[in-house]
Amino acid sequence: MCIRDRYGDLCNALMAGVPVLESHNNLVFNEVLRALTSPKDNSRARDDVLFGDYGAANWIVQYVDGPEIPEAMRVSYRLPELSKQIGLAEIMQAKYSDMLTQPINGFDVTVEFSIDNPPEAPEDLALRVALLGRTAAGAALYHHFTKLQETGGKMDPAAPIMVQSRPGENYWIIPLTDKVVVAYALSFLDEESQVIARLCIDRGIVNIEKFAQSAPLMAWSEGPPAEISGDENAVSDNAVGWSIATYFPQHVAPNKLDNTVTQALNWRNILSYHVKAAKLFTTSRMRHRVDFFQKVLDRAVPKKAAGRNTKTSLAAVGVAGKLLGKMRAGAAGEN
């Protein structure tokens, strides 16, 4: 059975109900909330905590000592090439002006806030801090979406901008007169992941009728959009293809802007999630089959061979033993 046949039905099932990844980092949210709701003593202090995130991003959560007990918390975020994004300083000032501070060494943005006097709803502050990564990573998107919304779809066309989404992979923001195009160059290292990704995209882009009136226009292309087709950075040896979303002013209205940025950023992560889920599910099924055949073969061993070791007994089964060996080799290949 070829890879495409093996994963086709599974990708159909996965893409029938595409999950939306949370826009905030849950680990950071829980750590901040714990600090805000803990008793005001030394027991709330912890060592520095480092978290990983999508796209080779990192967070670090630190407690800042006061005269007697820790009285503030510092949260920092870094992402490869983040400092090169247009609009980073502006969006940080707009969203975090009351807690923004000088970034610590090795990180791109840092916020610091008091944990001694938490607000009435500490969950709101914890969520706001946990959204720091989404806000920073989406700086270029915020910049162009805001401009599209403010001009009412009458922008001056600008040169396409390349933004690194993860090491070795980029997406492009193409500002046009009445819309903004976001094009992802999708790359996967192994052939199996490439096939699964292509199947998931086929199923996902086909099943969009329900949201056709309100969602951005989605398209799938073998090559890059015409605006960047001549750029050498738009070529990848491991590319599956291009996922292209077109946003109009109605998609970036003030009450939709944050959600639109989240969806634009998370699309690649959602696809990666489905690729891993499909491979994990199939590997699990294969291991289950191997275990089942192991039990069948154990029952098929003649009683007179009961005194011999397991390897010799299975070899006595002949053809069945060879079948088990092939099944095990297939399961190992799925890892």
289-334 per-position pLDDT tens digit: 777 777 777 777 655 555 555 555 545 555 555 655 666 665 555 4
Between the CA atoms of 115, 119, 124 and 129, what dihedral angle is there, to the nearest 10 degrees? -30
Partner residues linked to 74 by β-bridges: 62, 112
Q: What is the pLDDT of residue 182?
A: 93
Q: What is the pLDDT of residue 91?
A: 94
Helix (H, G, I), strand (E, B) or coil at 107: coil
Spatial distance between the Cα atoms of 88 and 133, rounded to a whole number of angstroms: 12
Long-range CB pairs of 323-329, under 8 A, 24+ apart, other chains included: 323/293, 324/290, 324/293, 324/294, 324/297, 327/286, 327/289, 327/290, 327/293, 328/290
Q: What is the pLDDT of residue 309?
A: 56
What are the mean pLDDT values of the chain's consecutive 10-residue runs (335 residues total)?
Answer: 46 48 88 88 79 88 80 92 91 94 94 88 93 93 93 87 84 91 83 78 59 73 83 71 87 91 85 81 75 72 55 52 60 52
Residue type, 152: G
Q: What is the pLDDT of residue 44?
A: 73
Q: What is the pLDDT of residue 10?
A: 45
CA-based R_g, the chain, Å? 26
Q: What is the pLDDT of residue 119?
A: 84
Could you please report the per-residue DSSP string of 30-86?
HHHHHHHHS-SSGGG----EEEEEGGGEEEEEEEEE-SSSEEEEEEEEE-TTGGGST
What is the pTM for the complete model shown? 0.75
Spatial distance between the Cα atoms of 182 and 268, rounded to a whole number of angstroms: 12
